[in-house]
Structure 1
Amino acid sequence: MKSRTEVSAKLAPLAGDDGLFAMLALDQRESLRGMLAGEQDAGAITDADLVEFKDLAKGILTPHATAVLLDRYFGLNGEPNHGIASGCALMLAADILHQVPGQPVQRTEFDLGVTPAMIRETGAVALKLLVMWRADQSPADRRPIVEPFLALCAEADVAAVVEAIVVPPEGGFGAGARDEAILAAAEELAPGADLYKAQVPGYAPGDTSGVRSAAERLTAAIDTPWVVLSNGVAAEDFAAAVDGACRGGASGFLAGRAIWADTTTEADRRAALEGRSAPRLDRLRRVVDEASAARALEGTR
Structure 2
Amino acid sequence: MHRTYRGRVLATAPTVLAEDEWVPVAEEHRRAVEALTAGHRERALAGEPHPVEDFLFTYYRFRPGQLARWHPGAGVVLLGAAARERLAWRGYARWAGPDGDVDGPGGVVVDAAGVAASQGRRLGHVRDVVAATRGRAPELGCFGLHEWAMVHGSAADPSVLRHERQPLRLGAAGTDAVVEEGARRGWLRCTHVDAFRFYPGSAVELSPLRPARDTQAALEQPGCLHAGMDLYRAAFLLVPLAPSSLVLDAFRLARDVRELDMRASPYDLSRYGREPVRVETSEGRAQYATEQRALAARGQALRDRLLPLLDAVVVPAR
Q: Does the TM-score normalized on the shorter chain lie above 0.5?
A: no
Q: Give the structure, 1 or 2, with the largest relative contact order (CA under 8 Å, sep 6 or more).
A: 2
TM-score with structure 1 setting the length = 0.32
Q: Which has the higher strand share?
A: 1
Larger Rg: 2
TM-score (normalizing by structure 2):
0.30
